[in-house]
Amino acid sequence: MQILVTGGAGFIGSHVVNTFTAAGHGVRVLDSLAPAAHGTAPPVPAGTDFRRGDVRDAAAVREALRGVDAVCHQAAMVGLGKEFGDAPGYVGCNDLGTAVLLAGMAEARVRRLLLASSMVVYGEGRYACPSHGVVRPGPRRVADLEAGRFEPPCPHCGEPLAAGPVTEDAPLDPRNVYAATKVAQEHLAAAWARAAGGRAAALRYHNVYGPGMPRDTPYAGVASLFRSALERGEAPSVFEDGGQRRDFVHVGDVAEANLAALHGLGEAREGSARAYNVGSGEPHTVGEMAAALARAHGGRAPVVTGRYRLGDVRHITASSRRLREELGWEPRVSFAEGMAGFATAALRAG
């Protein structure tokens, strides 16, 4: 099968390209090599057809789609950003870019799409109140965060909530600009599938980490920020009280999830769009992750700062049962093994 991987020179995209190639597929990469993600030109695997271009460029997309059987759409502006002024950049890159790509796919009659989505579409994770059952916490309040009250209370009675794994049927509740663009991407993919008779799988990545993450950029994930600090000889700076729960999933497992979903598209119904959580199933706190990295790196112990970002969420962990049961995917890299390897892995310039 010939596959177009947008953003295939990026952190996750490059691992996906290697996995597809190792499985015997032909791969073409379309990547703009944006400076925020690429300080230097990345190596391209032998046999890969690399095209430098932007998914917002209809002519570049049209050329890249020639002879393609499926598209794996990884290209995106990622992370929480620095301020709301980043919104036009996020919407232009993520949503306009996706719309241009899908229009090109409809014209070229390419009917299979893998979409890199994210856990951020859920906002806060799944919470239960002893009195009111499953509830959705309201927006985080500055007064609570300033006072160090980081746990969201029940919106009905104000009592503490118990956090649990979120499933794909949870309501979507984006709480920052990046999250809103990922929801829009999923809706665009579903609209394309219905209109063009396509088949789409949206892979909702949880906290992806591993070799090749970009260093020293405000758009990188928290694992990369901690790793960059350790490499500079600094202590990782942990926001809030470090008790935020996440599901850290190794990039190698994420690449294998893309391969499983690609094969699953062959059995999918025309006009369908299906979402899959991609997580390790091993929830850990951000503080635990920072401590594990620092120990494995031999660097300074993390510092818990109490600082916060209003667009962050407190707890979000995954149930990846659907991906396991429907597509036969299993994560292979444990938290301990993955963090030990990542602590000394090479990072890319950002």
Active site (catalytic) residues: 178
- Strands 272-278 vs 303-304: parallel, antiparallel or unpaired: unpaired
Backbone angles phi, psi at 314, to 5 degrees: -80, -60
Alpha carbons within 13 A on the beta-carbon side of 347:
25
* Residues whose CB is less than 8 angstroms from the CB of residue 349 and which lie 6 or more positions away in sequence, other chains included: 38, 39, 40, 214, 215, 216
Q: Structure tokens of 233? A: 């000889």
CA proximity to 234, closest of 296, 307, 300, 286: 300
Alpha-carbon distances, residue 348 vs 10, 224, 312 (angstroms): 10, 10, 25
Own/partner contacts of 18-21, CB < 8 Å, gap of 24 or more, are: 18/45, 18/255, 19/252, 19/255, 19/256, 19/258, 19/259, 20/72, 20/258, 20/259, 20/262, 21/45, 21/47, 21/48
For residue 54, what is the enclosing H or E element?
none
Sheet containing 133-135: order of strands: 133-135, 126-129, 162-164
Radius of gyration of the chain from Cα atoms?
Answer: 20
Burial class (CB in 10 A: 0-12, 13-18, 19+), 75: buried
Alpha carbons within 13 A on the beta-carbon side of 222:
24
